[in-house]
Structure 1
Amino acid sequence: MNVKSELLATLAKANGNFISGAALADELGVSRNAVWKAVKSLEAEGYSISSVTSKGYRLNEDNNRLSVNLISPLLRTKELGRNMKIYEEVESTNNTTKELDSDAVPNGTTVLADRQTAGKGRIGRSFVSPSGVGLYMSTLIRPEFSLEYAPMITAAAACAAAEAVEKLCGSPVKIKWVNDLYMNDKKICGILTEASFGLEMRTLDCAVIGIGINVRSAKEIFGEELCKTVTSIQDETGIIVNRNRLCAEVLNNLEVYLGKIVDRSFLQEYRKREYLTGHVVTANIGRDKILGEAIGIDDNANLIVRLSSGEEKHLSSGEANLCRIADN
């Protein structure tokens, strides 16, 4: 038995309450001195643990170290996150997940990293991923639904992440079609889904859902230019969200929302949060650029844009942004 791991998991399950040294020793089947040594070792690794005479030990909410032992007790999932790998640093959690033998690892296998050196965004962009600041995670799924539903995976994941952030910070979160989360008109999260198709392009073998959420303040790291459009939960709300708890909430929600893709019931939540609807937008479709009013989301999670001619375009891919009109 790994005393440190068992101790950490036990403290995590206590939900911020104190547990006496004697109770911990009995539960773990070790001496109180062994408990004390394990606590000191965990503290040396960066975990924040309070120790109060006559009360015992408590895992503090301000812990910022990612740990399977802190995430697993908070999971309500059947499969997602039940097999989890955490790294100090990777180039990209999506790449690391794709390098796994997808036939061998369980459905729902999740990879997290404290830092990404080459975080991936859509359309070949990078996702700035400094250490200790964000939640960078990728989950491998093998959907049972047919290929036609694949384009809706990202939209379902956006609902899951938005709901998780909103629950833990209490501030409203919007979804900017198709894959970004916004708070106070700035981006806090990006989602990138990469799929693997069958040889005849008729089946969806697996998909890797990458989610990057800016959790703690990163103004000094992002720089002035990036901060014009990108922000974090802490910078917008003043609340420091626990990354382990946020990870668990995202996975709990994601399993639910993936189950709502076939009947499209998740679209009600997506439409409620969608950021562009009702505004004039510019959209890039390949090399073409259009201008029109975003009027809603169709049943395939496509953005509907009405042109000045009255023609309606249903965008299944590309990028759309609010049209910024300069004041005269």
Structure 2
Amino acid sequence: MNVRSALLATLAGAGGDYISGAALAEKLGVSRNAVWKAVKSLEAEGFSISSITSKGYKLNEDNNRLSADLILPLLNTKEIGRNIKVFDEVDSTNNVVRELETEKAPHGTSVVANRQTAGKGRIGRHFVSPPGVGLYLSVLVRPNFDLHFAPMITAATACAAAEAIEELCGSNVMIKWVNDLYMNGKKICGILTEASLGLEMRVLDCATIGIGINVHSIGDLFDAELKKTATSIEDETGIRLDRNRLCAGILNRLEIYLGKISDRSFLREYRERELLTGNMITAVVGTEKLIGEALGIDDNANLIIRLPYGEIKYLSSGEANLCRIVN
């Protein structure tokens, strides 16, 4: 690790406290002048650092730069996020992870971007990903459970992301089956899982989990039509979250929730947050449009609906598109 990265990680780990130049120099094994130069280099990159002669340096809370050096000190995972790459711009974080997968990247490899030019949504939709306002994160997982558990990856991820957001902003986060997070009736996050099957089509070789969250105020970055259904955490709560802290919180919880898939224990949390149950909904299955009452979530994370004539259907992530609440 170079002096710049080591300094940033040390300041991030100080929890907002000042560290003297002498202490930093001793810890990093460099001169105080090298510390000063590294501080100036970080400031030139856009990091906000305060300095007081009698106290030293501290990393301010108003930084809006995504950095692996700021995320890694906040992780308490064994594997998820430990190999992490942060980019200013990519076409799609899912695409980058899939490229890394072909290079035999390890389980838990994560890619974070400040902007996506071709962000992916479900059913071929585009996920609007403007710079500086969102957290665009993809994680490579190499599961150790059977193939039939694969559809539950998205649902478990939704629980992890909802919990991380809720802890930082204090506002309730709901899950709209199967992959959207909602706050105050509007979407703040979408999740897309892309799976790769083994040669015999009987095992899940790996999966790429993509998470896109609208964190800071969207202002005029979304068009009028999108604003009818989408919002951001800041717009709903007035709280401007640190995207690095949010990223680490999601990765920490993702490792926990992935471990809950085999015994399905995450479903309790999912059902408590799921907002379609008890409502009349519409769903699209292939070319067929269904209207019915959402009865709940079964043990395979399928949505159970009752059609007008009493027929019960179980909609899986592999068969159904996003459901919409009927007003």
TM-score by length of 2: 0.97
Give how far 1:53 is off: 2.5
Distance 2:36 2:99 in 1: 40
User: Given the alignment of the two structures, is residue 225 of structure 1 paired with residue 225 of structure 2, yes or no?
Assistant: yes
Distance 1:102 1:86 in 2: 19
Give how far 1:281 is off: 0.4
Per-residue CA deviation, residues 79-114 of structure 1 (Å, 9 max, x unaligned), is 011111111111101011111244621110001111
TM-score by length of 1: 0.97
Distance 2:112 2:250 in 1: 13
Letter in 2 for 1:110: S
Listed as ranges, the gaps of 5+ residues in structure 2 are: none
User: Given the alignment of the two structures, is residue 262 of structure 1 paired with residue 262 of structure 2, yes or no?
Assistant: yes
User: Given the alignment of the two structures, is residue 320 of structure 1 paired with residue 323 of structure 2, yes or no?
Assistant: yes
Contact 1:174 1:181 (C-alpha < 8 Å) held by counterparts: yes
Distance 1:30 1:46 in 2: 23
Distance 2:60 2:177 in 1: 37
Give how far 1:321 is off: 0.8
Letter in 2 for 1:144: N
Within-5 A mapping of 1:14-29? 14-29=14-29
Contact 2:101 2:140 (C-alpha < 8 Å) held by counterparts: no
Distance 1:302 1:219 in 2: 35
Cα distance change on mapping 1:220 and 1:52 into 2, 3 Å = same
Distance 1:148 1:183 in 2: 30
Contact 1:219 1:227 (C-alpha < 8 Å) held by counterparts: no
Distance 2:144 2:109 in 1: 16
Distance 1:230 1:254 in 2: 24
Contact 1:168 1:241 (C-alpha < 8 Å) held by counterparts: yes
Match of 2:43 in 1: 43
Q: Secondary structure of the equivalent of 1:116?
A: coil
Match of 1:67 in 2: 67
Contact 1:282 1:291 (C-alpha < 8 Å) held by counterparts: yes
Give how far 1:42 is off: 0.3
Distance 1:33 1:144 in 2: 49
Contact 2:93 2:210 (C-alpha < 8 Å) held by counterparts: yes
Contact 1:302 1:316 (C-alpha < 8 Å) held by counterparts: yes
Q: Secondary structure of the equivalent of 2:241?
A: coil
CA RMSD of aligned residues (A): 1.0
Give how far 1:289 is off: 1.0
Distance 1:103 1:178 in 2: 30
Q: Which piece of structure 1 moves more, 174-183 or 51-60?
A: 51-60
Per-residue CA deviation, residues 39-65 of structure 1 (Å, 9 max, x unaligned), is 111000010111123121111111111
Letter in 1 for 2:76: R
Q: Secondary structure of the equivalent of 2:291?
A: strand
Match of 2:311 in 1: 311
Match of 2:200 in 1: 200
Q: Secondary structure of the equivalent of 1:119?
A: coil
User: Given the alignment of the two structures, is residue 180 of structure 1 paired with residue 180 of structure 2, yes or no?
Assistant: yes
Distance 2:220 2:182 in 1: 20
Cα distance change on mapping 1:101 and 1:157 into 2, 3 Å = closer
Give how far 1:23 is off: 1.1
Match of 1:243 in 2: 243
Contact 2:75 2:248 (C-alpha < 8 Å) held by counterparts: yes
Match of 1:108 in 2: 108
Per-residue CA deviation, residues 222-249 of structure 1 (Å, 9 max, x unaligned), is 0222111000011000101111111100
Give how far 1:168 is off: 0.8
Q: Which piece of structure 1 moves more, 27-36 or 259-268?
A: 27-36
Distance 1:231 1:290 in 2: 27
Contact 1:216 1:234 (C-alpha < 8 Å) held by counterparts: yes
Give how far 1:183 is off: 0.3
Distance 1:247 1:139 in 2: 11
Give how far 1:252 is off: 0.3
Contact 2:176 2:276 (C-alpha < 8 Å) held by counterparts: yes
